Amino acid sequence: MKINCLIVDDEQLARGLLESYISKIPYLVLIKSCKSALEAVEYLQNDHIDLMFLDIQMPDLTGIEFLQTLKKKPLVIFTTAYKEFAIDGYVLDVIDYMLKPISFERFMQGTNKALEQIKLIKTVLQTNNTQITTKNYIQLKANHKIYKVKYTDIMYIEGLKEYVSFHTKTKKIIVLESLKKLEETLPSTQFLRIHKSYIINTEMVTSLFGAQLEINNLYIPIGKMYLDKVKNSLFRE
């Protein structure tokens, strides 16, 4: 299991230390190291971060203020030099609260706690997906018709602003829907978001070429922030 991580800390030395620690733990994958909360927003919007190491005292927007703005949060570990914010961490349901300077042993304790929590979450999701996949099709409303499309016939789904286009083996169906909602409802064992504009059927993938996936002789781009996730999910040895 791989855990995608994000560091948010305005201190370069603190970021460097966390980057070093993350590189030593095989199940952690560093997606980005950010010097401000504002820089971190775009990575969180793509919904592929599992764990965020978040400093509290930062300019413009504190870690606490930033966390309060997020509707959907990854697991969070506060990394701070100030112990007086521990109650805020409890209220915001962070997974751990590490006081600087952080030793590697203390870092391991926190990440192991996060690993166990993520395993539990994934077990629940897999159980739910097993129940979902007993239904092997999706109903789509388009052109005054209701289409019954089997999951196995979907090659990929393309986002078109407020619409999405289902590219199947035989036709293209455009419906009023969002990729984000589909990402949450389609079985994650079979479908994977690889770009802000694409969800693919993993069973249709034939190759990886640079930052593209080949599906039925077509090349679908992989978003920069999704590349590690795609490789770990589809091409891990």
Listed residue (18, 135, 6) closest to 74, CA to CA: 6
pLDDT band at 191 (very low <50, low <70, confident <90, very high): very high
CATH of region 137-234:
2.40.50.1020
> Where in the chain are the domains?
3-130, 137-234
Q: pTM value?
A: 0.58
Whether 131 has a pLDDT exceeding 60, the answer reads no
Quick one: average pLDDT of 135-148? 89
3-130: CATH number: 3.40.50.2300
pLDDT digits (tens, 9 = 90+) for 204-233: 999 999 999 999 999 999 999 999 889 888
Q: Which residue did the predictor score with more confidence, 80 or 126?
A: 80
Sign, Cα dihedral of 137, 142, 143, 145: positive
Report in angstroms the alpha-carbon separations of 76 from 53, 97, 111. Answer: 6, 9, 10
Hey, what are 211's tokens? 């930052």
Taking each continuous run of H as one helix and of E as one strand, the counts in the chain are 7, 15
221: how many CB neighbours lie within 10 A of its CB?
14
pLDDT band at 128 (very low <50, low <70, confident <90, very high): low
Q: What is the pLDDT of residue 43?
A: 87
Q: pLDDT tens digit string along 4-39?
A: 999 999 999 999 999 999 999 999 999 999 999 999
* Euclidean distance between CA atoms 157 and 183, whole angstroms: 10
pLDDT mean across residues, the chain: 89
Widest Cα–Cα separation across the chain: 62
Residues 29, 214, 187, CA angle at the centre, nearest 5°?
60
The residue to which tokens 């795609």 are assigned: 230
Model pLDDT for residues 33-58, shown as the tens digit of each residue: 999 999 998 888 776 899 999 999 99
How far apart (Å, rounded) are the C-alpha atoms in residues 96 and 111? 9
